[in-house]
Structure 1
Amino acid sequence: MGRREGEELEFRKAEWAGGLEQHLGKKAFNRPIVKDAEVVSITTRTLVSILDEHDAPNDIDFLSLDTEGSEFEIIRDFAFDKYSFKVIINEHNFIDENRMAVRGLLLSNGYSLHCELEHDDVYVHSTLAN
């Protein structure tokens, strides 16, 4: 998934350490598993286009965001007025800039931070908070 529909991006197929090249970070390329991995071109889809294609309900119970650093890019233009999730788990992997961007976006769209786990933050929609 991506921020925009139809973007061509490079994905590094590095087993557990793979991801979009633009989000891997410089440290990742110090690892042979990343540096030597096959690179493939992918075409992005937006989360909304996938939900639309599959006739998803407007109110969805659960969303897990775990996209190796591109979580904010995926939801920054999300149609929160069209779809809502009761619970969202966002994997942050201690990337504070991405973590805080996701947090700010979700807080401004009716979610509250329920708890912080080791690698994830759990958000609950305001309709469940009480």
Structure 2
Amino acid sequence: GAVLQGAAPHQSVTTGGGACRRGQTGEAPCADMSTRTFPMAPLAALLDAFGAPRVVDYLSLDVEGHEEAVLAHFPFDRYTFRALTIERPSKGLQRVLVDAGYVRGLSAPIGGRSGDQLWLHRTVPGGVDAASRRASIGIQALSTPPTLEIPASEI
């Protein structure tokens, strides 16, 4: 197939097993899991190849622990994401985001542990505080089970 400009065809990543492979489940790593190898391309090369706008409204990044590798050398001077969600970003990645003008908005817990973190660029329309409040209200609405109130007279 075609190679994207900026891609390193000799580089690849092997996937398979996710949390099991990294031993995050508390169990022994899976020895019998199957793996697949894929060619890699930098995120900026993908955005360039598909003609992405310089300002992107939203990016959800969850690449099973490789988020810092994806964004560590990202050209934030060429592309701005108004909002990003990143699952459990490392301290190093958090520093990269802060240096690029992002402010941490909120976290959405996953299974009692910290989960996705919302990061907002300082130029987000309406301001970071207002956007974070709107996102917080949305998260609460999604995580609150609906209730049905039946008047006592109907029971």
If the TM-score is normalised by the length of the shorter chain, which range does it land in? 0.7 to 0.9
**Greater helix share, 1 or 2?**
1
Name the amino acid aligned to 2:74.
F
* 1:116 and 1:122 in contact (8 A); partners too: yes
Amino acid at match of 2:97: L
TM (normalized to structure 1)?
0.76
1:75-127 per-position Cα deviation (integer Å, ceiling 9, x unaligned): 001010000000010111xxxxx521111110110000111221111110001
> In structure 2, do the counterparts of structure 1 residues 72 and 64 end up closer, same or farther at CA, with 3 Å as the change threshold?
same
Conserved? CA contact 1:58–1:83, under 8 Å: yes
Question: Could you say which residue in structure 1 is the equivalent of 2:50?
Answer: 54
Q: Secondary structure at the match of 1:30?
A: coil
Task: Please identify runs of 4+ aligned residues in structure 1 that moved more than 6 A.
Answer: none
Amino acid at match of 1:54: F
Unaligned segments of structure 2, at least 5 residues:
1-6, 110-114, 130-155
Post-superposition CA distance 1:41-90 (Å, at most 9, x none): 22111100100010000000001110110000000010100000000101
In 2: Cα distance, 1:37 partner to 1:18 partner: 12
Match of 2:28 in 1: 30
Equivalent of 2:81 in 78, 85, 89: 85
Could you tell me which residue of structure 2 aligns to residue 43 of structure 1?
39
Partner of 1:109 in structure 2? 100
What is the count of residue pairs matched by the alignment? 113
More strand by share: 1
TM-score when scaled to structure 2? 0.65
Gaps of 5+ in 1: 93-97
Q: Which whole-Å CA distance do the structure 2 matches of 1:40 and 1:74 have between them? A: 19
The alpha-carbon distance between structure 1 residues 41 and 18, as it changes in their structure 2 partners (threshold 3 A), is farther
Equivalent residue, structure 2, for 1:126: 122
- The higher-RCO structure (CA 8 Å, 6+ apart) is 1
Bigger Rg, which one: 2
C-alpha RMSD of the superposition:
2.2
**Identity percentage over the alignment?**
23
